[in-house]
Structure 1
Amino acid sequence: MSGKLQGNGLKCICSVYVPVRDPAKSARWWQRNFGLEFAVPFSEESDQAIMKLSEGQWLHLVQTEGQIDNQFPNKAGYEMFRLTFEVREIEVLHDHLLGNGVQIEELEDRGSCGINFVFYDPDGNKFDVNENVSMYRAPEEVEKVKNHLFAYAR
């Protein structure tokens, strides 16, 4: 069947590929810090570990011998991350990662876009997480989350 493309031909992102030095070590890190599970059985001899996000997308942790460069500078020179993970209960995740010693940058309230923070995996790959708290939570809960995360002085 041939036909004309109607509207947006891209449905979603099903896989993301991340360069790592040691897929087994990286997989354990993602399991410990985010609760990810293997999408397919893993062998220590494999050159990649495939982890599954909660909604089914796959995170491929691909072994590389080359340069690991998952960032790029924007026009202003800020080193950008390649993707943002959507999360729920960002305050719980933030506290969990801090407790595990994960390298994270400062929280940011991006207004209508939500609350974000950047974290790094053991190979230096930079990632962003976001929760649009005002979309998924009651206003009084949003205030509690912001108080917890930003320690607003009122």
Structure 2
Amino acid sequence: MIEKLNRVGTVYIPVTDPDRSQKWYIQHLGAELKHLDEAKAIIDLAGQSFFLMKASAEQSANFIDGNGDRHFSLTFEVDGEKVLSELHEDFIRRKIPVGEIEDRGHAGKNFVFADPDGNLFDVWSELNPASQ
């Protein structure tokens, strides 16, 4: 029998300066630093291990979708639309680049934000049943 995949172990995010990036993720997203060297910073964020990997400025975790738009590759979840709205307002106060809160035609609402290297991330107001 083939074993199923249990969880995501690590997410790799390209950044131009791991030290600068880890400080930003700690200050603005509440991450915890686990390791730092010239090539990478390892942080814990939202119950997940992230490697902030030194890369050239042209690299990002984004991709171009079928409409030709830059698209995020990762969605964070928060517990409800009130929390989503409060987080959105907090990010605006912190001058984090954020998009508008959107209704995408499915349960909950979303918004997109960017880190200092332009990596886009999504935030969704619904919790996955497995994480509740």
The alignment's TM-score, normalised by the length of structure 1, stands at 0.73
What amino acid sits opposite 2:114 in the alignment?
Answer: Y
Find the aligned partners of 1:65 and 1:103 in 2 and give their Cα distance: 21
Q: Does 1:131 align with 2:121?
A: no
Which structure has the larger Rg over C-alpha atoms?
1
Moved more, 77-86 or 60-69: 60-69
Seen in structure 2, the aligned counterparts of structure 1 residues 111 and 75 have a Cα distance that, compared at 3 Å, is: closer
Match of 1:14 in 2: 9
Higher helix proportion: 1
The percentage of aligned residue pairs carrying the same residue is 35
Uncovered stretches (5+) of structure 1, i.e. residues with no partner: 136-154
Deviation at 1:65, TM superposition (A): 2.9
What amino acid sits opposite 2:98 in the alignment?
Answer: I
Find the aligned partners of 2:63 and 2:35 in 1 and give their Cα distance: 32
Contact 1:104–1:118 under 8 Å retained in 2: yes
Uncovered stretches (5+) of structure 2, i.e. residues with no partner: none
Q: Please tell me the root mean square deviation across aligned C-alpha atoms, in Å.
A: 1.9
Find the aligned partners of 1:26 and 1:61 in 2 and give their Cα distance: 7
Contact 1:112–1:132 under 8 Å retained in 2: no
